[in-house]
Amino acid sequence: MISILMAAYNGENYVARQIDSLLEQTNQDFNLYICDDVSTDKTFSIISRYAEENSGKITVSRNVKNTGSAKNNFLDMMIKHKDDYVMLCDQDDIWLPKKIEQTLAKMKEMESKFGKNTPILVHTDLTVVKDNLKVISKSFKLAMNADYSKTELRNQVIQNTMTGCTAMYNRALADLITTVPRYFVMHDWWLSLVASAFGKIGSINEQTVLYRQHTKNEVGAKDVRTLRYKLDRILHYRKVKEAINITYMQADSFLRTYFEKLSVDQRKLLTKYSDIPNHLKPVRIYRIFRLGTHKNGFSRRVAHIIFI
């Protein structure tokens, strides 16, 4: 069985259409779990109505107090819910009809190759749309210049190449998500770190989600190929530096959380990477190339060297 986890908060304008898209999937072998993070709008009443109408398929819960962000709500659900397969679902997207079917097929293919006891994560491309569903970018992968082949821990430690709302992971990976770490940037990035360290990551180069781009998004999608984006990075260089610095904290947190499970080489990688801020810039630059923990893409790599 598949468990779909949806973290909900003040999504009254979107959540019904998203749930409808799940109920329109070609594969209906799933249970949907929605956790409301103490919404102040009509979200809870909307999802409660769906749970009533789909008893046994949709289960709704509500946090006692707001967790502070979608990443916290999601991670709490990921720790709580285990199943043969788990999928993550944003409240404001729309899943295309064959999303579950296509993702599960890839998962089965990888389990056949590597074994069901291997932690496996599968993700897909998506289409970025406006509030009214007008297409902004047909392919998120192309717009973000993402390289889905970069699946090793040294790749993921600096740059998450997986979008959580497209993800499916198996029980072997779900069983590794057991505690809230001291620090993590986003729940999906943490998931990709676990998968890259202990298992396999697979991808589908097809768009399976309409990803809404609006002001309430916690993480937006911007076309990194444009001159406007590059100028914005230069003008707001402090944000770029901060985006790099938080990866050190996350790497250290990952090292502490999974120390006993990590290999000797993985421990060395994470130790040396998280120690980068304690050195002068020439050493920092040398170390990222020595470890292979530089960003993907020419412009990103240049920015990494400049702002490290």
The CATH code of the domain that includes 79 is 3.90.550.10
Query: In order along the chain (308 residues), what is the average pLDDT of each group of 10 residues?
Result: 98 98 98 98 98 97 97 98 98 98 98 98 97 95 92 96 96 98 97 98 97 67 50 62 94 98 98 96 94 82 82
Both 56 and 185 in a single domain?
yes
Measured distance CA(297)–CA(299) in Å, rounded: 6
Looking up tokens 């594969």 gives: 27
Q: Give the orientation angle of helix 15-23 with respect to helix 43-53, to 10 degrees.
A: 20
- For the four alpha carbons of 207, 163, 287 and 277, in that order, the dihedral sign comes to positive
Report yes or no on 45 lying in a domain: yes
Both 173 and 70 in a single domain?
yes
Report yes or no on 220 lying in a domain: no
Q: How many other C-beta atoms are found inside a 10 Å radius of the C-beta of residue 185?
A: 17
Pairing of strands 94-95, 200-212: antiparallel
Report yes or no on 222 lying in a domain: no
Both 286 and 171 in a single domain?
no
Both 294 and 155 in a single domain?
no
Q: How many other C-beta atoms are found inside a 10 Å radius of the C-beta of residue 235?
A: 9
Both 287 and 204 in a single domain?
no
Both 248 and 193 in a single domain?
no
Contact between residue 139 and residue 207 where contact means Cβ atoms under 8 Å apart: yes
**Residue span of the structural domain in which 206 resides:** 2-212
Report yes or no on 217 lying in a domain: no
Measured distance CA(202)–CA(49) in Å, rounded: 36
Query: How many distinct structural domains can be found in the chain?
Result: 2
Report yes or no on 98 lying in a domain: yes
Q: What is the pLDDT of residue 36?
A: 98
Q: How many other C-beta atoms are found inside a 10 Å radius of the C-beta of residue 289?
A: 11
What are the two backbone dihedrals, phi and then psi, of residue 302, each rounded to the nearest 5 degrees? -60, -45
Both 190 and 251 in a single domain?
no
* Final residue before a domain boundary, out of 184, 212, 240: 212
Report yes or no on 218 lying in a domain: no
> Both ends of the chain: CA-CA distance in Å?
44
Report yes or no on 221 lying in a domain: no
Both 28 and 169 in a single domain?
yes
Report yes or no on 219 lying in a domain: no
Both 153 and 280 in a single domain?
no
Both 164 and 21 in a single domain?
yes
Contact between residue 248 and residue 273 where contact means Cβ atoms under 8 Å apart: yes
* Final residue before a domain boundary, out of 212, 240, 261: 212
Both 108 and 252 in a single domain?
no
